[in-house]
Amino acid sequence: MAHISTDVRVLEYGGHAGEILQSYDLSSIDGLVTVSGDGTFFEIVNAIQKRAMLEANLDENDPECRVPPSNLRLGAIGAGTGNGVAVISTGVLNTDNGVTSNAIYISLGVSSLSMDTNHIFCNKKLVCRQLLMSGYGFYGDVFYDSEQARWAGTKRYIYAVLKNLIRHRTHETEISYLPHDSPEGGDWVTIQGRYKGILQFNFIFNPGNGREEFESSLQNGFMYIYCLKECSRWQHLLRWKRWIDSIRFKQGYTLHEPYEDLYIAKAFRIKAIGPDASLPINSRASFDGEFHQLEKSEFEVRVQRRSVKLFGVLHKDPPKDGTPV
């Protein structure tokens, strides 16, 4: 009905999408769409950007290298446990009609949404490419424990969160970041402290600010670093509840407590410090919901601005006075 020609490939194992894209003629297609969860979409982004850098003879392990621009549009029809990219690109939540709505928006193909990606480096090597978020400390430990309990299905995340709230581990950490408003060649800011966890987002979500501001944050070249400093178990639990409530009720999340900090940066580094810094337990991190045991207890995140183009919907919010658009 939409007169769209397709070449459908069924993925049979982890890494299969990357293998297909190593040799596929990308010039023969206008777009690439996954019917999957976020994991497969992230695998495709990694494969496409890796191939682009190889063909351009660029060193992917160099944090200063930029991904060559691409006009290939990517789309996500949410069909997995986590469907964040599908929600981000169209604004359609995971409802019964979400898959149909995603497919319709992609078929129409009338607009595109650019999105930043981040490249993660450790020990002078690229670890992965990331689109949504990175986690360290509490957020690395949660994904480590959930990985050990995959047999429990999605309930493993509840188990892992509760386990780490009870354990209440503190991480001695050095955070360095390049402020978002710093000039070219500006100085990095370095902070040392005791943290429960550190989260880095590629976007900032506050429903009260509207969809357009959210879309702008996806492609502005900045990252948002949330730091939870040392606090009591009770304070940590209350903060976690507020976080979950903000997602459930679409309220956005605002910082209320002295043990919470937020930094806006162009790049940042995390490094474990203290007598136990070199222990493997301090080398745990999560990138886009995937657990990584790093080679060293430190990593660096660099923004690749507008390096992914999505089939998307550019929303215009109605005027606040209710005037029809």
Q: Among 110, 127, 111, 109, which Cα is nearest to 119's?
A: 127
Give, in degrees to the nearest 5, the angle at Cα 241 between 213 and 201.
35
Strands, E, within 86-188: which ranges?
Answer: 112-122, 125-130, 133-137, 171-179
Long-range contacts of 26-29, Cβ-Cβ distance < 8 Å, separation of 24 or more: 26/72, 29/72
How far apart CA 266 and CA 307 sit, in angstroms, is 15
The 3-class SS string of 37-99 reads CHHHHHHHHHHHHHHHHHHCCCCCCCCCCCCCCCCCEEEEEECCCCCHHHHHHHCCCCCCCHH
How far apart CA 211 and CA 317 sit, in angstroms, is 7
Containing 241, the helix (H) or strand (E) segment is: helix 233-248
Instruction: Establish whether 38 is a catalytic residue.
Output: yes
Residue type (1 letter), 289: G
How far apart CA 41 and CA 33 sit, in angstroms, is 8
* End-to-end CA gap in the chain: 29
Residue 281 and residue 255 in contact, taking contact as beta carbons nearer than 8 Å: no
Catalytic site residue from 38, 116, 141, 145: 38
Cα torsion 65, 41, 224, 182 to 10°: value is: 20
Handedness of CA 292, 305, 181, 246 (dihedral sign): negative
φ, ψ for residue 42, nearest 5 deg? -65, -40
Residues acting as catalytic residues: 38
